[in-house]
A and B are shown apart, each in its own frame.
Chain A
Amino acid sequence: DAKTTQPTSMDCAEGRAANLPCNHSTISGNEYVYWYRQIHSQGPQYIIHGLKNNETNEMASLIITEDRKSSTLILPHATLRDTAVYYCIVTVYNQGGKLIFGQGTELSVKP
């Protein structure tokens, strides 16, 4: 599985958009980009995933660059409850959900 690089921590003001970057320069053609988050002491929670097109759901948007070497998770209107560690993971689609977690980005949403 391709390795990902994320900033260790980020701050965001409540109500503003949170943009979380991820580098995955060694991604292979059959690997997807997945984002999970972990709120303090809870199990990780799925957010969104994509292959090469931008994706949006009720939680977030995922922007993947054309060369697929990096991506950005966007939380459009961050709330205090979005404070969590966000993990960017690259994995092939047919391994049943095998996830290799890095250190993630600790996002602090401040009032």
Chain B
Amino acid sequence: DAGVIQSPRHEVTEMGQEVTLRCKPISGHDYLFWYRQTMMRGLELLIYFNNNVPIDDSGMPEDRFSAKMPNASFSTLKIQPSEPRDSAVYFCASTAGAGGWTEAFFGQGTRLTVV
């Protein structure tokens, strides 16, 4: 397996524009997590899914952020409208949670810059 795949790797957008980040988890994994990393706040859990269903979105900062998982192999994190303070590295991770898990596998991240 190629691991967790995120796209794009880098995104530069103007304030007010819609941004969509994408994630393909490892095949067979049933949990998917979205994290955000900034210098000020470190790594923050935004939302996670189990079997494509959102379980906890308490980390989503504002209504401008939304996440979906239409099927087991794809998830999106959307920011609309984007603001400069959304600039961060966004990571997606997946685990094989059912029956117990040992490790979370992270993607390489998407570096978002909002100007």
Contact = CB atoms under 8 A, between A and B. Distances in A.
Contact of B101 (A97, A103, A104): A97
Contacts of B115: none
Interface residues of A, number: 22
Interface string B69-85: 00000000000000000
B107 A101 contact: no
B97 A96 contact: yes
The dominant DSSP class at the A interface is loop
Interface of A: 36, 38, 41-46, 49, 87, 93-104
Contacts of B56: 98
A34 to B, nearest CB: 8
Contacts of B101: 93, 96-97
B43 interface: yes
6 nearest A-B residue pairs (beta carbon): A43-B106, A96-B97, A97-B95, A46-B103, A96-B31, A101-B43
